[in-house]
Amino acid sequence: MSNGQNSSITTRNIVTVAILASLGGSLSTFVGYLGNLINLSLGVPFGAGQFMAGLHVFWLILIRVIVAKRGTGTMGGLLKGLVELFTGSTHGLVIVAVSMVQGLLIDLGAEIAGTPHNNSNISRLTWWLSAGVAAASNVFVLQAFYFSGAHWILLTVIALLAFCSGVIFAGYFAWETLEFLKDSRVLSNSFSSTSPFPVSRKRVTYRNLPAIALIIFITVGSLYYTVAVAQVFSDPYSCKVTGLVENPYTYSPQAFVGQEVTVQAELQGVNIHLDPANYTGILLSTILEAAIPMAETTGVRIVARDGYTILLDLDEVMTDTHLLLTEVEDGLWLIASNYDGALWIRMVITLEVY
């Protein structure tokens, strides 16, 4: 088993990658079963299974460490994904993308961490972190395919769960497995063979303590930042003013202090009616004027965070004295008292002049 990063890949390397990818793909059903057991034991329909996400990355880490050559992580990921596709994964082709991205991230992590035969704490920590990142990546790839519009806090919490799983199963447990394989002489002339004697489990635990402590700190810190800090500092009350304007900018109500207007409006939808109420905010015409629309522009496209989009005539917008953006608890609302209820938009994020 070669340790070189650049030497060409041998038949033995290819067979190792293929066999581990095959075993990983074949055991994915077992991993899914464990995930379902965890869901059942916690009484939730899904989500807790992400705690098993690291076990999918475990195989890719083994591949990348045992066959210590550039690109074997990606190759292993692709192969494992194809094996899962051919064995009837319920994610179909998406599982190939998920697995390949994980392999790619492990390859990137391996480039930073250097040779896996280096027993330094920093190197091991980098491997474990890249395993965590690779495990978390599945949340974002699946989100891109199926869960667009999910709240970023929800995604971050699930991703953190997957990250922890990656660190535990594809980091700590993978290293324990590699030590076991080395001790059982299955990895004959390879991985971390600086110590000729079997290493006791206690010693492995002590040696990994600094890495474990740092990872716990990062995980707890990230969770705290996501839930308690980031939400406070992120500004849902801002939106981009773009398109055919001379001065594109990010609108924030604080920049328009003193220009607020109050209008009385009632929402008249097809199936809903909100009684007349007073809404205070900045007129859309004032916001667009600050961006200076170009001469040939005819309309404005208003986009919400969930992708909902409406088009309004620019001339009508610029003369409407009852069309404003107001601050509500979940972001900016477009109050459109002269329009149908469907044009009252929540969570406005973009005003694009065209």
Q: Environment class of residue 122 by beta-carbon count within 10 Å: exposed (0-12), middle (13-18) or buried (19+)?
A: middle
Please state the three-class secondary structure of 50-103 as a single string. HHHHHHHHHHHHHHHHHCCCCCHHHHHHHHHHHHHHHCCCCCCCHHHHHHHHHH
For residues 248-287, which are near another protein according to CB under 8 A? 269-272
Q: Report CA-CA distances (Å) from 53 to 102, 133, 158, 160, 329.
A: 11, 11, 11, 11, 34
Q: Choose, by CB under 8 A, the member of 4, 5, 7, 37 that binds another protein.
A: 37
Binding flag, residue 170, another protein (CB under 8 A):
no
Per-position x/- string for 306-325, each x denoting binding to another protein as judged by CB under 8 A, each - no binding: xxx-----------------
Binding flag, residue 87, another protein (CB under 8 A):
yes
Binding flag, residue 29, another protein (CB under 8 A):
yes
Q: Choose, by CB under 8 A, the member of 187, 283, 300, 317 that binds another protein.
A: 187
For the bound state, the minimum distance from the C-beta of residue 35 to another protein, rounded and expressed in Å, comes to: 9
Binding flag, residue 183, another protein (CB under 8 A):
no
For the bound state, the minimum distance from the C-beta of residue 289 to another protein, rounded and expressed in Å, comes to: 25
Give the distance from CA 211 to its chain's centroid. Answer: 23
Q: Choose, by CB under 8 A, the member of 4, 7, 19, 321 that binds another protein.
A: 19
Q: Choose, by CB under 8 A, the member of 4, 92, 198, 210 that binds another protein.
A: 92
**250, 236 contact by CB (below 8 A):** no
Contacts of 246 (CB under 8 A, 6+ apart): 291, 292, 293, 294
Binding flag, residue 17, another protein (CB under 8 A):
yes
For the bound state, the minimum distance from the C-beta of residue 111 to another protein, rounded and expressed in Å, comes to: 21
For the bound state, the minimum distance from the C-beta of residue 112 to another protein, rounded and expressed in Å, comes to: 25
